[in-house]
Structure 1
Amino acid sequence: MARIRRKRMHCNNKELHHKYKTKRRTKDLDQIQDDLKPENKARLLSQDADEDLPGLGQFYCVECAKYFVDDRTRLEHRRSREHKRRLRDLKEPAYTQKEAEAAAGLSTDNGHTSSLSAPGPMSLLSLKQKTDQGLANKTASKRPAMDVE
């Protein structure tokens, strides 16, 4: 009689294994686009020797944010599919905070935030702040003016 396979397959699930793989994780695209600015790029390409990095930190690919052992391996990397894919991804500009808010529906085309200008439903925090401001204005108007001499 054969043993029935269990349903829990976390150790054999390749998608799950690759999802949590963080050993060789590099920088995100927006961080690399900041590194590609001329002042940052010059600083990264002319680093001091560091014993902890491969190749003493002298052979660095700025676009992929990786260190290499020697110049030959860096040149082979530059011809690879991985490097070319990263270059293609870097051609698109990084998302800004303004674009993210527009995608979430928090701002309009004229730059005003919709939560302040639209009469739609408001969050509990904004309602609390609004009532606190109203109470502060009422108490300030009820207080008698103090004469300072």
Structure 2
Amino acid sequence: MSDPLSEVIQLLRPRAVFAKEISGRGRWAVRYAEFGLPGFCAMTEGQCRLAVDGEAPVVLEKGDFVLLPATPAFTLSSIDPGPPVHVDPNAAAAGEGATRYGRTEGAPDMRQFGGYFSFAAADPGLLVSLLPRM
């Protein structure tokens, strides 16, 4: 038996537009401006902190999945964050290869797969309004 959230997502018919590996080591923080397109991340290793504007910050751990139906501004950081570096989401999406935050030497403390997608549904606005903000 499927749940209502899965049914709404199926009706939206998401299509990946951009995705890549994102990792971090040490103290780091990045601040993304509002992007407007649906975004996601799937944690594959370690932990990080996600602070979406208007929502309480959450700690993400291996196995967590986040769906942002209309990606607002947010800060992604290590659990003990450093000063945030501002990132233009359009420029980040244009980049190729993996992204690394914090210290570049050594194995990462955190690894996730993240990106954005589009909806193939004819009029996704109504269905998106049924989804939680995060």
TM-score (norm: length of structure 1): 0.18
Choose between structure 1 and 2: higher strand proportion: 2
Choose between structure 1 and 2: higher helix proportion: 1
Greater relative contact order structure (CA < 8 Å, 6+ sep): 2
